[in-house]
Amino acid sequence: MSQDNCILRELNLKDKNIHFTDNEAGEWNYFDYRGRGDKRHKCLIYTANLTYSVSQCSDCGFRDCVEHWGWTSTEMRLTGTSLWDVRLALRKQRFHCKNCGNTFTAVSSDFEKNCQISRNTKVIVKQNLNEDMMTEKTVAKHLHISPNSVQRIEYDAIYEGGQYKYQYNFKNNITESYFHG
């Protein structure tokens, strides 16, 4: 458990449901290659299981009917304290409800659904672009992610910013019509 905490800190993650696994030699990470052609490069890879117990089905609401239902694996992209392209080979727990048949996968506060780039990496992308005035290309190189991913994160941030502004204006209008209407 304390090993988990150390690695979480090292990898800029927080979710205590992530449990790291070591290999037969007792090592917590290893080098492997990723990418094709001139994109092929050395990566530092950690492996972990994402699991927790679920007391209630999110679909039917029944209690004590959710069982473990195998695993699904995804490779996540992290920003650690290392200069390497750091990856997390994450096995995510699958769940099954014995009452309604609903199946679902464990979620982590460190990752958004269907996104392999950690939330913290996204925060750093935004900082690099807005505060450090780095170009998209430099940020991509710096964080070992594609320029397309950097652009997507940037667009999402602009969109979210827009949404917020919209809600804010909407609220203001409501207040105004309440007082003046």
Q: Is 48 in the site for Zn ion (CB under 5 A)?
A: no
Q: Scanning the structure block, which residue is given the tokens 């991509």?
A: 140
| Strand ranges (E), the chain | 18-21, 29-34, 41-50, 66-78, 85-97, 103-105
Q: Minimal distance in Å, beta carbon 6 to Zn ion?
A: 37
Taking the mean position of all CA atoms in its chain, how far away is CA 150? 15
Closer Cβ to Zn ion, 19 or 96, answer by number: 96
Closer Cβ to Zn ion, 64 or 160, answer by number: 64
Q: How many CB atoms lie within 10 A of CB 26?
A: 6
Closer Cβ to Zn ion, 41 or 98, answer by number: 98
Parallel/antiparallel/unpaired status of strands 41-50 and 85-97: parallel
Q: Is 57 in the site for Zn ion (CB under 5 A)?
A: yes
Choosing from 18, 97, 117, 143, the residue that interacts with Zn ion (CB under 5 A) is 97
Number of residues near Zn ion (by CB under 5 A): 7
Closer Cβ to Zn ion, 21 or 103, answer by number: 103
- From residue 35, how far is each of 11, 52, 75, 83 by CA, in Å? 21, 32, 13, 17
Q: Which stretch binds Zn ion (CB under 5 A): 17-25, 94-102, 124-132, 151-159?
A: 94-102
Choosing from 100, 127, 155, 159, the residue that interacts with Zn ion (CB under 5 A) is 100
Choosing from 16, 21, 42, 60, the residue that interacts with Zn ion (CB under 5 A) is 60
Choosing from 10, 59, 112, 136, the residue that interacts with Zn ion (CB under 5 A) is 59
Environment class of residue 19 by beta-carbon count within 10 Å: exposed (0-12), middle (13-18) or buried (19+)? Answer: middle
The Cα–Cα gap between 105 and 89 comes to 16
Residues 41/35, Cβ–Cβ less than 8 Å: yes
Q: Minimal distance in Å, beta carbon 112 to Zn ion?
A: 24
Q: What residues from 101 to 130 belong to the interface with Zn ion (CB under 5 A)? A: 102
Q: Which residues bind Zn ion (CB under 5 A)?
A: 57, 59-60, 97, 99-100, 102
